[in-house]
Amino acid sequence: MGGVVEVPVPSNEEGPDWEGEVDVWVGAPLVGASPEEALAAVVGCSAFNDLTSRRAQKLTSQWILGRNGDRSGPLGPLVPATEVGDLKQGLRLRTRVNGETMQDATTDQMIYAVGDTLSLISHTLTLRPGDLLATGTPAGVGYSRTPPRLPQPGDTVEVEVERLGAVRNTAVGNDHRSGVAALPGGRRAHADQPQALAP
């Protein structure tokens, strides 16, 4: 979190696909919350790269394995909600690979509203302070391109979000996987598949 995160390419993957997103941080327990209560519990946001191992992701209908490769999910610093404002204002999100723009969208294009998604999750799973919600990614991910384009060792991916700053990662070889330390933080919930929570 912060700086440039080195992300190893798994030996059975062509590369970790980028997904530029905004993460929102939960700051209070949520149990059966209304959308308004859930939104009021958001304490901040971060730029996030929901790096995905596509081959692992497609093995089953659940995406947990594909979303949890070693050091996947580089996360920028928390920016307080009071400084971020309403995501419906349309903050610009851009993802670049080696300086080339791959994703360019605004947060007012989100399909699922943050309060609605957190409310939905809270009716099944108690959300606690420190839990994170990944809000979904715009068009432009690597595997959907023709031909597909996925980061290779040495490539640098940057996700920049207006008011949130940027998070950067560099792809490295699979031999960098030994001795990987777990990153601190809460769980991640994905707006595009809200029942799948990553530890």
d(CA 161, CA 164): 5
In whole angstroms, give the CA distance from residue 57 to residue 44.
Answer: 28
Identify the residue with better confidence: 189 or 124.
Answer: 124
Q: What is the pTM of this model?
A: 0.83
State the maximum Cα–Cα separation within the chain, in Å, rounded to a whole number. 46
Token pair for residue 68?
Answer: 């949890």
The pLDDT value given to residue 55: 77
Please state, rounded to an integer, the average pLDDT across all residues of the chain.
87
SS3 string of the chain? CCCEEEEECCCCCCCCECCEEEEEEECCCECCCCHHHHHHCEEEEEEEECCECHHHHCCCCCCCCCCCCCCCCCECCCEEHHHHCCHHHCCEEEEEECCEEEEEEEHHHCCCCHHHHHHHHHCCCCECCCCEEECCCCCCCHHHCCCCCCCCCCCEEEEEECCCEEEEEEEECHHHHCCCCCCCCCCEEECCEEEEEEC
pLDDT digits (tens, 9 = 90+) for 111-148: 999 999 999 999 999 999 999 999 999 999 999 999 99
pLDDT of 76 higher than 60: yes
